[in-house]
Chain A
Amino acid sequence: MGWRAIGHIAAVLGLLCCMDVAFAEDDGCAAAPGAARSDDCVAVGGWNLSVALGAGIRTNPVVHSKDIPLVVVPQFSYYGKRFFIDNLDPGVTLFEGDENTLSLIASPGYDRVFFYRSDLQNFFLGGATSVAGGGQTALVPVARTGETFRQIPESPRKITYLAGPEWTFKYAAVSGQLDYLHEITGRNHGDEIRGALGIPLGRLGGTWTANVGVTWKSAGIVNYYYGVPDLYNAGSVLNPFAKIGYSRSLSSKWKLEAFVHCERLGNAIADSPIIRAHYVTTAFVGATYVIHK
């Protein structure tokens, strides 16, 4: 991603920060000082830093690539009155109510992590197709072409950022998220829709949750990562995923966490000659230490 793209992102975020947009006070988080608040609430101006230490693995669907270990996963967030940054996702909240929130966010394109282990998203575990671990910095896939194999010329997959509106909501205990994002760094001009529901399953020795969702990627994005010139031209794709998570507070600073996340790659990705699997599975067990809250 060039300086021009970074400049564009900074300009957009700066503009959003200065916009005098309507901002509703949130009834649920505006309790009197000292009163009990839900875990959903954070102090304006506060920042949070935690790190998860544990053992996990994520399968890598790219041919001739190794599965990725998960060992250290930092998590960072800052919330201003309107501006926030959640790991690698900056955003501006336009409307915040007790049940609905509308924001403009920017978020990196995740698929790059399969090809560059040094991608920042390999350290800040983000979306449905991110991984963590160290190792080589550029994976050169070898594709099946009929009955023979051929070396795919390495095509650069630059860091991309997508931006657009995000609607999050809470209905009863279920939380939801819907993003419509457009690639703004001028690499593929693609679009992406992210939708998910978080469903609490109950408390049995801790907190159990289930997440289900989908990611839709336009042909521009899919081709940028999984297309092969003169060999494979992909269309749009729909990737559904499901996740089971477990969390248990051990103390004010430590929390035990575990999850299994499985994403099915749509045909437009799975049929690519540089892809060998239809599923990406991520599993992690570890302890999260809150450094600052």
Chain B
Amino acid sequence: MRHGGGNYIVQHGVGIALTRIPGVGRFMACSLALLGLWMAPFAYAALGPTGENIQLQISPRICTLTGNDKQCETPVHAQWRSSHEESLCLVIVARPDVKRCWEHYAEGTYTIQLTFAEDLTFQLRDLSLEHVLASEALRVIREALRYRHKRRQPWNIFD
């Protein structure tokens, strides 16, 4: 991020830019920069979680249906990690029965036995469930089966 031709500081997640202010010396500029660094966490808390630092991983990420399988039945392990404490909930879209919340944690894990036939979307949301902070999908893939007609055999006594 760059503004004009002055010094700049980029903090991971939150960018603070300093531009050259006429009449203000290098000392002031450095002081302001330090102040900005010190203020950043407060500003971040005031803005609320942005989700940019939160990583969500699920395992498995793909379930393959083979043969006559109608649905997947498998334990799913979800893990999230953040660079700072968060208060959030793990939910699955269209599955209101699944909800796991953490308050003031920087990481969390959750394992659940699931039965599903379609893709599942796992989301980390804030406690009010209004903002999505991170999202991952568990895909369902059906093995490409070819079908053909059974033999029609009305002559057969058991057909």
B-contact bits for A91-125, CB 8 A (1 contact / 0 none):
10100100001010000000000000000000001
**CB < 8 Å A-B pair total:** 107
A-contact bits for B51-74, CB 8 A (1 contact / 0 none):
000000000000000011000000
Is A188 part of the contact surface with B, judged by Cβ < 8 Å? no
Task: Say whether B154 contacts A44, CB under 8 Å.
Answer: no
Q: Which residues of B contact A46 (CB under 8 A)?
A: 67-68
Task: Say whether A101 contacts B149, CB under 8 Å.
Answer: yes
Is A60 part of the contact surface with B, judged by Cβ < 8 Å? no
Is A42 part of the contact surface with B, judged by Cβ < 8 Å? yes
With A26-B148, A81-B146 as given contacts, are A243 and B157 in contact (CB-CB < 8 Å)? yes
Instruction: Tell me how far the C-beta of B131 lies from the nearest C-beta in chain A, rounded to whole angstroms.
Output: 34
Determine the distance from Cα of A175 to Cα of B158 in the docked complex, in whole angstroms.
15
Task: Say whether A198 contacts B154, CB under 8 Å.
Answer: yes
B-contact bits for A166-191, CB 8 A (1 contact / 0 none):
00111000011101000000000000
Contact residue among B142, B147, B150, B154 (Cβ-Cβ distance under 8 Å from A30):
B147
Is B3 part of the contact surface with A, judged by Cβ < 8 Å? no
What is the predominant secondary structure among interface residues of chain A facing chain B? strand
Stretch in A1-9, A33-41, A135-143, A217-225 with 4+ CB within 8 Å of B? A33-41
Contact residue among B144, B147, B155 (Cβ-Cβ distance under 8 Å from A41):
B147
With A43-B67, A79-B150 as given contacts, are A130 and B157 in contact (CB-CB < 8 Å)? yes
With A42-B150, A79-B148, A101-B149 as given contacts, are A195 and B142 in contact (CB-CB < 8 Å)? no
27 sampled A-B residue pairs with Cβ under 8 A: A28-B149, A29-B148, A33-B142, A40-B150, A41-B149, A42-B147, A43-B145, A44-B146, A44-B147, A46-B68, A52-B158, A77-B150, A77-B151, A81-B146, A101-B151, A125-B158, A126-B156, A128-B157, A168-B151, A175-B154, A179-B155, A196-B155, A198-B159, A243-B157, A259-B157, A259-B158, A282-B157
Beyond A33-B144, A44-B147, A175-B152: 8 further Cβ-contacts under 8 Å?
A26-B147, A41-B147, A45-B146, A89-B151, A96-B148, A168-B152, A196-B153, A196-B154
Which 10 pairs across A and B sit closest by C-beta, in order of nearness? A198-B154, A196-B155, A29-B147, A196-B154, A168-B152, A33-B142, A44-B146, A175-B152, A41-B147, A211-B154
